[in-house]
Amino acid sequence: MAAVGVLTLELSIEDAHSLKDKRHVVESLKNKLRNKFNVAVAEIDHQDVWQRATIAAVTVSSDHVYAEKVLAAVEREAAALLGRALAEAAVEWLE
């Protein structure tokens, strides 16, 4: 059975003064995570708010342990890239 893991990242982008500023941060993060970890990434909430964003990264694997490692690495990378802008992270499993 496949393991589907969803990592949800809540961002607080205090330096954003417009949707354009926010979009720069969000798009940069999405592209870096996609390229480095081969995960699906999308902005899933707060699209019309300047200083908040919710991003989801998803991985699918036949090996649950491997999927956990991938999402843990994605979370560490996001924390390193965002610093204090990463307000919260949570993993959910669909099996």
pLDDT of residue 94: 93
Task: Tell me the C-alpha distance between 40 and 56, whole Å.
Answer: 8
pLDDT of residue 90: 98
56-75 pLDDT, tens digit per residue, is 999 999 999 999 999 999 99
Domains, the chain: 3-94 (3.30.70.1120)
pLDDT of residue 1: 83
Prediction pTM value: 0.94
Inter-residue contact 58 to 44 (CB < 8 Å) = no
Angle at which helices 64-82 and 19-37 pack, to 10 degrees?
140
Tokens 């491997």 belong to which residue?
66
pLDDT of residue 54: 98
13-44 pLDDT, tens digit per residue, is 999 999 999 999 999 999 999 999 999 999 99
pLDDT of residue 24: 96
Neighbours of 71 (CB within 10 A): 23
Mean pLDDT in residue range 7-15: 96
Task: Tell me the C-alpha distance between 1 and 60, whole Å.
Answer: 10
